[in-house]
Amino acid sequence: MTERDGRDVYEYALLRVVPRVERGECFNAGVLVYCRAKSFVAARTHLDETRLRALDPEADAAGVRAALRAVEGVCAGGEAAGQAARDDAGRRFRWLIAPRSTVVQPGPVHTGLTADPAVEVGRLLDLLVR
């Protein structure tokens, strides 16, 4: 849906790292953005290893980083998306925001308006993650 001022509705969800699922402690490590009007889906991530180690000194930082990169790959499509490569942007976003009981979990979905969803991904990463 495009608004009169040229902005489009978009949805976003934060990616949270939950190093010890049984404790439920988490911190933000990325953002997913989906804009139906532009058939756009993207993820940007930033792993703060100091926060990770504060919550779990034994955490597998390389494994968490790989999981975050996998989300970015699914968003990008192509071979990096695996089986999801055949899906449209909306289906990939919905699959990525489905609840999981893993170290990298999606948060709730929020909405907004933007003229450029690619710019919005970076803005949200800076505002909510870094």
DSSP class per residue in 53-120: HHH-TT--HHHHHHHHHHHHHHHH-GGGGGGGGGS-HHHHHHHHHS---SSEEEEEEEEEEES-HHHH
62: left (phi over 0), alpha (psi -120 to 50) or beta: alpha
- Summarised one tens digit per residue, pLDDT across range 17-63 is 999 988 889 999 999 999 999 999 999 999 999 999 999 999 999 99
- Summarised one tens digit per residue, pLDDT across range 66-116 is 999 999 988 887 776 677 777 888 988 999 999 887 899 999 999 999 999
pLDDT level of residue 4 (50, 70, 90 thresholds): low
Looking at residue 2, its pLDDT comes to 58
Looking at residue 54, its pLDDT comes to 95
